Amino acid sequence: MLVKLKDGELVKQMPEADWDLVISVNLKGVFNCTQAVAPIMIRQGSGVILNASSVVGIDGNFGQTNYVATKAGVIGMTKVWARELGRHGVRVNAVAPGFILTDMVRQMPERILAQMQAHVPLGRLGDPDDIANAYVFLASDEAAYISGAVLRVDGGIVVGT
């Protein structure tokens, strides 16, 4: 959370160290990996770069300023790299998962899981295979004319509704 107020008084702010850590992993990590592989892909005249974003990078989410900033940044980098690398035969796309029933999510209280599921028009939380299938498709030749896209895999949810 950026700031927390109680009775009009500031009671908490996001520590800069929390901001820096999430930026370093989620944004700088993507930058570093792509910078490492892009020259190889350019030399070979082909390649596929698939980035991990999130629906919160598109829609935002209360209390997640640093995470949202990184996932929105990944979307921006995906779009610019698709433009920069496309002329070299390299496609760049991102997947933006919604609520996925991972081991971490399974540990959440049942009432929170029920609330999450209630906001998904398809009526269920996603399965990790749903995300894997999106990546497999975007990496395949069947997606040969897709670049600069952000594929939501979220059961139709709009975060915050």
In CATH, what number is assigned to the domain containing residue 139? 3.40.50.720
Tell me the pLDDT band of 2, cut-offs 50, 70 and 90: confident
- Please give the residue range of the domain that contains residue 32: 3-153
Number of domains in the chain: 1
pLDDT at 43 over 70: yes
Of 150, 156, 153, 146, the closest CA to residue 48 belongs to: 146
- pLDDT (tens digit per residue) in 58-87: 999 888 999 999 999 999 999 999 999 999
pTM here is 0.91
Could you give the angle at the alpha carbon of 50 between the alpha carbons of 81 and 106, nearest 5°? 135
Report if residue 138 sits inside a domain: yes
Q: What is the pLDDT of residue 62?
A: 85
Which of the residues are catalytic? 67
pLDDT at 161 over 60: no
